[in-house]
Structure 1
């Protein structure tokens, strides 16, 4: 029987690259998306039918959307990968409570609750993988992205705490912290801004989604069987 993985945010650049790599490794996949339905349809056509477990639409940025997603979600998975998210850029004092709530629900509470629903089956089966894609800003903080930094930092604390709690049940929990990655989240950067960023990064360029998904693939492999509660930095030596 194939191992089953639920990928949150599968329509984004990192989620898409991760899905492709896990399918190559023999995983059966289910893909969550919020609005990029066409991306999911194209992805479905690339995945062998015996490895396609379906698509789950859901807006995880508010409580009702999280609950609706949970109501339709299967409860037995061998792995969860959290790739979804969005940023908010601007001065902290200009941020509305609604914007703060949206980032909190999307990055923190949905991660908690989806994991909570999937854990009983993993514990019963004495195996499981959970990988959370956080951010370099969750480790270092970022001016004009204060709340985004906060929720990404919360994800890392979640990984550390949960890893200790579920390790006796054979479940490994880890994180990946990308730096500047070539993706739609960073498409707003001007050429000048991109050049300035490249000059700050020792390898001198943006990372590619496949470089992040490679770290995720490793963490879910047998080669990483003694790794839990850890964070792999995929940032070109930025920090």
Structure 2
């Protein structure tokens, strides 16, 4: 993986940061995408150096921003070998209280934004004859969850997108896979009330939350040039929560 270039959306915090760090430590150069937390992105770049990590601000839900960020990474590093679609948002409400805007915002970022980036990367990689695309879904896309109809729909949608792109990319040297984390120790999960977390953990066979690096390890495996015969797959990292 030494000398390769990765673009990780939402790559400055939580699972995304763990992925960025793991790929950098494997010798890759990483373009880190972020939307609204420049401090975290700048701290990550400062830790590893601007020659190894470049940072790129943008809204993944806007096609124009995706094109600009992708071009910035190409200009900085010459190419993109690996795309990790990690960025995502939530707007949780029970269906009876969910507004159309709650639906539209989550779909635009989580599903349309992933398509925008994957589309750009696929065209670039297919032309070069090789590449890895890894889409980060969620256990919520596998089993659903009350109060997350919008989020579950987008994360389930990534499965179909992944498999369809994988079929198209199989003769172009482009693999497309999906990783579906369970409940991981991130800021998003930290915002959940403690009693709710206790209930969640009680239902996980391993009786604990996952760690961001445990998800990053699977992404690293799929991003490896030697993983060329693995495509169209969903890898669940959830402690046995959904089997």
Q: TM-score, length-normalised on structure 1? A: 0.93
Other-structure match for 2:107: 104
For 1:228 and 1:213, how far apart are their aligned partners in 2?
Answer: 18
Indicate how the Cα distance of structure 1 residues 202 and 72 shifts in structure 2: closer, same or farther if over 3 A, else same: closer
The 3-state SS of whatever aligns with 2:229 is coil
Other-structure match for 1:58: 58
For 1:115 and 1:180, how far apart are their aligned partners in 2?
Answer: 25
Other-structure match for 2:22: 21
Other-structure match for 1:69: 66
Deviations 1:19-51 (A, max 9, x none): 000001111110110111100111001224432
Q: Structure 1 stretch 14-23 or stretch 97-106: which is displaced more?
A: 97-106
For 1:120 and 1:178, how far apart are their aligned partners in 2?
Answer: 27
Displacement after TM superposition at 1:223 (Å): 4.7
CA contact (8 A) 1:57 1:69 kept: no
For 1:201 and 1:238, how far apart are their aligned partners in 2?
Answer: 5
For 2:124 and 2:200, how far apart are their aligned partners in 1?
Answer: 43
Q: 1:177 and 2:180 equivalent?
A: yes
Long gaps (5+) in structure 2: none
**RMSD (Å) for aligned C-alpha atoms:** 1.5
What is the number of residues matched between the two proteins?
Answer: 235
Other-structure match for 1:149: 152
Q: Structure 1 stretch 69-78 or stretch 197-206: which is displaced more?
A: 69-78
CA contact (8 A) 2:5 2:82 kept: yes
Q: TM-score, length-normalised on structure 2? A: 0.92
Displacement after TM superposition at 1:192 (Å): 1.6
